[in-house]
Amino acid sequence: MPYDYLPKLLQPSDSKIVLLVLDGLGGLPIEAGGPTELEAAATPYMDRLASEGCLGQTIPIRAGITPGSGPAHLALFGYDPLEYEVGRGVLEACGVGLDVHLGDIAARGNFCTLDENGLISDRRAGRISSVEAMPAIERLQRIQIPSVELIVRQVKEHRFAVIMRGEGLHPHLNDTDPQRTGAAPLLIQAQQPSAERAAELFNQWVSEAREALTSQSKANGVTLRGFATDPGLPNYAETFGLKAACVAVYPMYRGVSKLVGMDVVPFEGEYPADEFAAVAKAWDDYDFFFIHIKKTDSMGEDGNFEGKARVIESVDAALPALLELNPAVLIVTGDHSTPALLKSHSWHPVPFLLWAPASHLPDSQTQFGERACAHGGLGAFPAMDTMSLALAHAGRLTKYGA
Amino acid sequence: MPYDYLPKLLQPSDSKIVLLVLDGLGGLPIEAGGPTELEAAATPYMDRLASEGCLGQTIPIRAGITPGSGPAHLALFGYDPLEYEVGRGVLEACGVGLDVHLGDIAARGNFCTLDENGLISDRRAGRISSVEAMPAIERLQRIQIPSVELIVRQVKEHRFAVIMRGEGLHPHLNDTDPQRTGAAPLLIQAQQPSAERAAELFNQWVSEAREALTSQSKANGVTLRGFATDPGLPNYAETFGLKAACVAVYPMYRGVSKLVGMDVVPFEGEYPADEFAAVAKAWDDYDFFFIHIKKTDSMGEDGNFEGKARVIESVDAALPALLELNPAVLIVTGDHSTPALLKSHSWHPVPFLLWAPASHLPDSQTQFGERACAHGGLGAFPAMDTMSLALAHAGRLTKYGA
């Protein structure tokens, strides 16, 4: 842990912390001098919080580094994403709501099309639709291998997730996609001796999969990659002394939260108001709430500047329900930037709003936006400092040294 | 490397990056409330770039640390100067245009005056002039030692550089200047067994030097210090995926560039316009251009506030030639501060201007200067982050993690 000095500074408190993450919040002006998505959005509540509280910018990973969703959230959760890596197989499994336990092996799977010689003629099985892929998924789900449990779940189109659960499994295995057509899928080989059992069992599974899929016209083969297990992240309760809850619509963010030991709060609906209502309902049971809003990122990825601004406005409009709960600390930020201008995640610093009425550092900012955050009292800081700032402002950290 | 995560994120691109370094750019007001050199200079082009782009401040080494030219440039080039040290002998050799290869030993030499007992009566040979020192230099250049090649070049006044080239030479040798008069120059001793051959050969050279210099009235002895070899810096092409060129008037900066694997672009002239013309001519052959302007630093060292402002203006006036080339990223900064007020390098943060039209982070700054940079959108950051920021804005880095 980068913050191994924290656990011994923790002190008990009844104060509540809310970390509200608008995925891909950071944006850019469409034209020079124009507003960003966040600046264009009408956000009276966030602006009030900005006036009362303190702004800053986070660097998600390191200068210039564009984060994926996994590492970006790890950083916000207080873990250095260069030190702790959540493997791609685990993220894929989390993304479809599967739990990956320590010792499990999770992998990303692709259906592919094999020719009569067993060579790949299409690496994505003709980009088969999700509906078309369902019979093939069902066939994979019926495969059994003695001594291990197997879980297969459809992701989307040609993609699926697979988990193998059993004793003595190690995930140091190579990807099997040869990355070109005209070649056979690669055999799975152990990258170290401890992984030999897993290699053998996965090869057996692949071979049974091929038999099970012979009748399929497009999806008659599989490739696997990103073999990984639970990264064994230090537990949230021990690291930060917090009973923590996740309120998220998308399975992947629930999954990453579970990896650090958060409880996932179930709820109906998909709007910010639904998520905030779920927080209100669970308010007495937890110290810390991570709330995840996905659609800011989706709109950014689509290049939809206006749409992203509207999502931000919908979050703002729902904020009173959160504020009524009187959190000791409310943080509003993103995990990374997804400027509509770039239609992708980016490396830019991320707007950060800290509202903690008992102990605000004052700054002179009155609007929540990129330019204001660049002038904020918190300056620019690594995203993985978020948790220690939150704990401090919640009165949950005692003095270091005499 | 602190940036060992970079190489695997590199993606190919045709985008061009220009790093324009005004040596010692950072300054201070002569009187409280007054402008700095950069703020006093009329810089319409840099101000336009500041309005369109984004400002910040770099910390060259660490807070409060005043850098020499070598470490300051290593940081801008992306190498932690606390991790990678370019020895003084190597810097001195680079400074007079000598190439130091891996396995060479380079040292700084001083002429001194020895009395009849061989004790130093003047550690700098009466601060002999460069012209007076020439005959002594020529005598040193004639010395030959079997099995090694020796290169001696005058630096200035009593100073020279010497390189020994051959097999099995290791530079772990002590300085020979006793740091006081009335003492004999120290013998060269190996600091570890592998350096014994080099110690023996250098002692032989010093003894032959003394014989060769007996007829000299002032410069009749030598001391040597800063024994060092090529530090083996990670190569620019491998580390950053860039074919890199250096355009610099002063040999030392060319030398440091060569140590990281840049090509040195030859050109005539010494003015910013000459350097920018050289960049234009070589534009199609490189991905990255490091352009070095020396005179800002020289003026600062001379305490010439106005002169330093005029040099900055001359760079600004020449900028259109660079902008016509349409770089994807143009960075204007310094390697460190050299405030005329202090007449020396200083530890102050350095103004930093990033212009990258495809993906500017907006800030509200409209002038390139110390105060504006303190409010810039990039915040204050380590100078060694410069290269990852440049690569990101040039579209040369892919996403970290899924």
DSSP notation for B10-73: B------EEEEEETTBB---SSTTS--HHHHS--HHHHHHHHHSEEEEEESSSTTPPPPHHHHH
- Which of B3, B387, B392 faces A347 most closely, judged by CB atoms? B392
pLDDT for residue A1: 53
Q: Work out the pLDDT band at B2, boundaries 50, 70, 90.
A: low
Tokens matching residue B75: 């940081």
B chain contacts of residue A69, beta-carbon cutoff 8 Å: 401-402
pLDDT for residue B309: 98
Residue B398 forms contact with A (CB below 8 Å): yes
Strand B329-333 to B159-165 pairing = unpaired
Are B222 and B112 a contacting pair, CB within 8 Å?
yes
Residue B9 forms contact with A (CB below 8 Å): yes
pLDDT, tens digit (0-9, with 9 covering 90-100), for A97-113: 899 999 999 999 999 99
- Which of A226, A347, A371 faces B363 most closely, judged by CB atoms? A371
Looking at the complex, report in whole angstroms how far the Cα of residue B363 sits from the nearest Cα belonging to chain A: 5
B chain contacts of residue A86, beta-carbon cutoff 8 Å: 401
pLDDT for residue A118: 95
Residue B8 forms contact with A (CB below 8 Å): no
How large is the average pLDDT for residues A44-55?
97
Average pLDDT, rounded, for chain B: 95
How far apart CA B357 and CA A264 sit, in angstroms, is 42
How large is the average pLDDT for residues B225-229?
95
Residue B376 forms contact with A (CB below 8 Å): yes
Name beta bridge partners: B122: B113
pLDDT, tens digit (0-9, with 9 covering 90-100), for B4-49: 889 899 999 999 999 999 999 999 999 999 999 999 999 999 999 9
The yes-or-no verdict on residue A2 having pLDDT over 60 is no
**In sequence order, which residues have a C-beta less than 8 Å from that of residue A73 and are 6 or more positions away?**
A21, A253, A256, A335
Residue A28 forms contact with B (CB below 8 Å): yes
How many H-runs (helices) and E-runs (strands) does chain A carry? Answer: 13, 13
CA-based nearest residue in chain A for residue B389: A64
The yes-or-no verdict on residue B206 having pLDDT over 80 is yes
Asked if A375's CB is within 8 angstroms of B402's CB, the reply is: no
CA-based nearest residue in chain B for residue A342: B359
**Exposed/middle/buried for B48, CB within 10 Å: 0-12, 13-18, 19+?**
middle
pLDDT, tens digit (0-9, with 9 covering 90-100), for A362-393: 899 999 999 999 999 999 999 999 999 999 99
Looking at the complex, report in whole angstroms how far the Cα of residue A72 sits from the nearest Cα belonging to chain B: 9
Residue A88 forms contact with B (CB below 8 Å): yes
Residue B374 forms contact with A (CB below 8 Å): no
Q: Work out the pLDDT band at B311, boundaries 50, 70, 90.
A: very high
pLDDT for residue A7: 87
- Which of A61, A82, A371 faces B362 most closely, judged by CB atoms? A371
pLDDT, tens digit (0-9, with 9 covering 90-100), for A229-263: 999 999 999 999 999 999 999 988 999 999 999 99
Residue B356 forms contact with A (CB below 8 Å): no
Residue A154 forms contact with B (CB below 8 Å): no
* Helix boundaries (H) for B88-235: 88-95, 130-142, 196-212
Asked if A379's CB is within 8 angstroms of B381's CB, the reply is: no
From residue B388, alpha-carbon distances to A61, B17, B240, B257, B292 in Å are 12, 12, 8, 18, 20
The yes-or-no verdict on residue A226 having pLDDT over 80 is yes
How far apart CA B37 and CA A193 sit, in angstroms, is 64
Residue B402 forms contact with A (CB below 8 Å): yes
How large is the average pLDDT for residues A149-154?
96
How large is the average pLDDT for residues A163-168?
96
pLDDT for residue B362: 87
Looking at the complex, report in whole angstroms how far the Cα of residue A290 sits from the nearest Cα belonging to chain B: 20
Q: Provide the angle, in degrees to the nearest 10, between the axes of the packed helices A88-95 and A251-259.
A: 120
Size of interface A-B (CB pairs under 8 A): 107
The yes-or-no verdict on residue B401 having pLDDT over 90 is no
Domains and CATH numbers, chain B: 7-86+233-393 (3.40.720.10), 90-228 (3.30.70)
Residue A57 forms contact with B (CB below 8 Å): yes
Q: What stretches of A176-280 adopt beta strand conformation (E)?
A: 221-228, 244-248, 263-264
Residue A232 forms contact with B (CB below 8 Å): no
pLDDT for residue A33: 87
Average pLDDT, rounded, for chain A: 95
DSSP string covering A158-191: TEEEEEEE-TT----B-----SSTTSPPPPP-BS
pLDDT for residue A24: 98
Q: What is the ipTM of this complex?
A: 0.87
- Which of B362, B375, B379 faces A57 most closely, judged by CB atoms? B379
Partner B, chain A 58-77, Cβ-Cβ below 8 Å: 61-72
Tokens matching residue A94: 């989390």
Provide the whole-model pTM. Answer: 0.90
Q: Work out the pLDDT band at B360, boundaries 50, 70, 90.
A: confident
pLDDT for residue B1: 52
